[in-house]
Amino acid sequence: MSLLLYGHAFSSYCQKAIVALYENETPFEFREVNLGDETSRNAFRAIWPMGKMPVLRDEARGVAVPEATIIIEYLDAHYPGAVRFLPPNPDLAWRARLRDRFYDLHVQDPMQRIVSDRLRPADAKDPTGVAAAHAALQTAYEWIEQDMAGKTWAMGDAFTLADCAAAPALFYADLVEPLGDAFPNTAGYLARLNARPSFARATAEAAYFMPHFPKP
């Protein structure tokens, strides 16, 4: 197998890359990383010293590609399929990248801050930071609500890099800051993402770890 993806099935950023691989049925082997295990952690750091998941190892080309966004662009360039993740039009391409960054920075990041705080001991909680993260998600939802008006996917009719980012970001964000009835366009978009076969498969494969997701 030429392509090896190192990561964890429950990781939102790993799911972002997995969605892209499943979209085009790109053959790959998944190598689960357990950062809590010294042997697994050290083996992974030998591939990528920063120790952040996911990392794609392309044995055929002899390269290791870190970061979910870069992995998806790499696949688009070297293992293209029917779904092209970056539009060929330069103006559409930067708009797709903008939405990719938006979901990473303004949905994933505050969501992960809330989750991380739930994992801290009681004397290390950060209520001020958590309140700011919840507020940031509400602001992000307001932008998405306007951006998704009249659209099926983030860039319109075509599934792109932006949707790969949005799927896990919104899935987990909705668990910590529920969309409710206030954001119907965003909720409809999340429902379509959840039903997309590539993401449905990714979440099904990660379901075994869902009981470990920290509740409020």
Does residue 51 come out as left (phi exceeding 0), alpha (psi in the -120 to 50 range) or beta? left
Averaged over successive runs of 10 residues, the pLDDT of the chain (216 residues) comes to 92 97 97 90 92 96 97 97 96 98 98 95 94 98 98 98 98 97 98 98 95 85
Q: Which helix (H) or strand (E) holds 192?
A: helix 184-195
pLDDT of res. 198: 98
* H helices present in 64-183, as ranges: 68-78, 90-102, 109-119, 127-147, 161-176
Residue 1: what pLDDT?
61
Q: Going from the N-terminus, what domains does the chain have, and what CATH number goes with each?
A: 3-78 (3.40.30.10), 90-212 (1.20.1050.10)
Q: What is the pLDDT of residue 64?
A: 97
Query: Measuring CA to CA, how many Å separate 60 from each of 1, 3, 56, 88?
Result: 9, 8, 12, 26
